[in-house]
Amino acid sequence: MRISETTFPSLAPPDASARGTSADARDFGARLLDPAETREKSTGSLWPDGQKDPIRSANEALAQEFLDWAQKTPAEKIRERILKARGLDEEGLRELPKAERDAIEDEIRAAVKQAFGVQDDSGADAEMPKTAAAV
If pLDDT is split at 50, 70 and 90, which confidence band does 53 have? confident
Q: Please tell me the pTM assigned to this model.
A: 0.48
91-114 residue pLDDT tens = 999 999 999 999 999 999 999 999
Residue 89 sits at the vertex; the CA angle it makes with 83 and 128, to the nearest 5 degrees, is 55
CB 45 within 8 A of CB 52: yes
CB 109 within 8 A of CB 116: no
